[in-house]
């Protein structure tokens, strides 16, 4: 007899689902019994993810959205509720990395990074918290970064957005603790994702840059999306029922 998964019967909405940490988490959560509302701006890769989940016997729906658009957020949240009648877990994972020192950044870059990395979490949380309140509880997990705890060079904007996520997480955890809503954030170090590989290739010296990223990790390797997904699974599962307001470091020792 198959043992029920850690998320059996749960409905999970994940943003940034089509690649990297979001994809790994979507697949893992589905294997653990959750139905997955997969939200991403890339419809083709998101459809491939959902097809893979379904081919393994899981339940998922691909929802296309600009996570910084209030109208898009309201639409996909309502689509998920219409499909499954409830949402139990919100994983605010969508994000982008913008490099550079402050004097090199365009205002448009600043606004876009905050819109995707921070505003999206506000929009999805604002839309879903009332659902949690009506249901009697729920779980929110936000993807922050070790950069919220330990800054690195040429990441002023990225660090600012992830610092905001860190503080937002703790504020929400306190505000909703009495409503049976847990809120935590993940603080990954450098993770080997398609986004990282694309950024390294754009620099023109990908192998040298990769060595530099590895060198700043005390464990002397990059993390994997699957490792981050396992941490996410713990934090959204009932096994972490006494955990809220936590910034879970999973960074290879980078923040030491």
pLDDT < 70: residue spans in the chain: 1-2, 199, 203-204
Torsion 118-122-123-128 (CA) sign: positive
Check which CATH number belongs to the domain holding 65 and give it. Answer: 3.40.50.720
Q: Which residues, listed in sequence order, are joined to residue 142 by a DSSP beta bridge?
A: 92, 185
Same domain, 36 and 153: yes
Check residue 204 and give its pLDDT. 66
Asked whether residue 105 is assigned to any structural domain, the reply reads yes
Same domain, 175 and 214: no
Asked whether residue 3 is assigned to any structural domain, the reply reads no
Tally of structural domains, the chain: 2
- The one-character DSSP state at 251 is S
Q: Residue 36 phi/psi, 5° resolution? A: -115, 120
Same domain, 119 and 200: no
Same domain, 213 and 180: no
Domain with 207 in it = 190-222
Length of the chain: 256
Same domain, 135 and 63: yes
Asked whether residue 2 is assigned to any structural domain, the reply reads no
158 is catalytic: yes
pTM of structure:
0.94
Check residue 211 and give its pLDDT. 82
Same domain, 101 and 206: no
Check residue 2 and give its pLDDT. 65
List the one residue out of 209, 212, 215 whose CA is nearest residue 197.
209
Find out whether 132 and 138 touch, Cβ atoms under 8 Å.
Answer: yes
Looking at 124, 132, 158, 166, which residue is catalytic? Answer: 158
The CA-atom distances, in angstroms, between 218 and each of 4, 144, 206, 214, 232 are 37, 20, 20, 8, 22
Find out whether 186 and 231 touch, Cβ atoms under 8 Å.
Answer: yes
């Amino acid at each position: 007899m198959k043992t029920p998964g850690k998320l059996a019967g749960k409905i999970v909405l994940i943003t940034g689902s089509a690649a990297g940490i979001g994809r790994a988490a979507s697949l893992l959560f589905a294997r653990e019994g959750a139905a997955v509302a997969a939200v991403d701006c890339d419809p083709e890769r998101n459809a491939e993810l959902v097809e893979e989940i379904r081919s393994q016997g899981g339940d998922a729906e691909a929802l296309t959205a600009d996570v910084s658009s209030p109208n898009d957020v309201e639409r996909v949240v309502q689509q998920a509720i219409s499909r499954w009648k409830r949402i139990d877990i919100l994983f605010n994972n969508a994000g982008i990395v913008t490099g550079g020192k402050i004097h090199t950044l365009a205002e448009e870059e600043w606004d876009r990074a905050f819109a995707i990395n921070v505003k999206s979490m506000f929009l999805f949380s604002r839309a879903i918290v009332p659902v949690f309140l009506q249901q009697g509880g729920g779980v929110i997990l936000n993807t922050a970064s070790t950069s919220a705890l330990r800054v690195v060079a040429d990441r002023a904007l990225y660090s600012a957005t992830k610092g905001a996520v860190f503080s937002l997480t703790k504020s929400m955890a306190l505000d909703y603790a009495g409503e049976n809503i847990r809120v935590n954030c993940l603080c990954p170090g450098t993770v080997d994702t398609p986004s990282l590989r694309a950024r390294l290739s754009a620099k023109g010296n990908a192998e040298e840059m990769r060595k530099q990223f590895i060198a700043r990790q005390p464990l002397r390797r990059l993390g994997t999306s699957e490792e981050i997904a396992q941490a996410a699974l713990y934090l959204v599962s009932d096994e972490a029922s006494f955990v809220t307001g936590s910034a879970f470091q999973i960074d290879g020792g980078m923040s030491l």
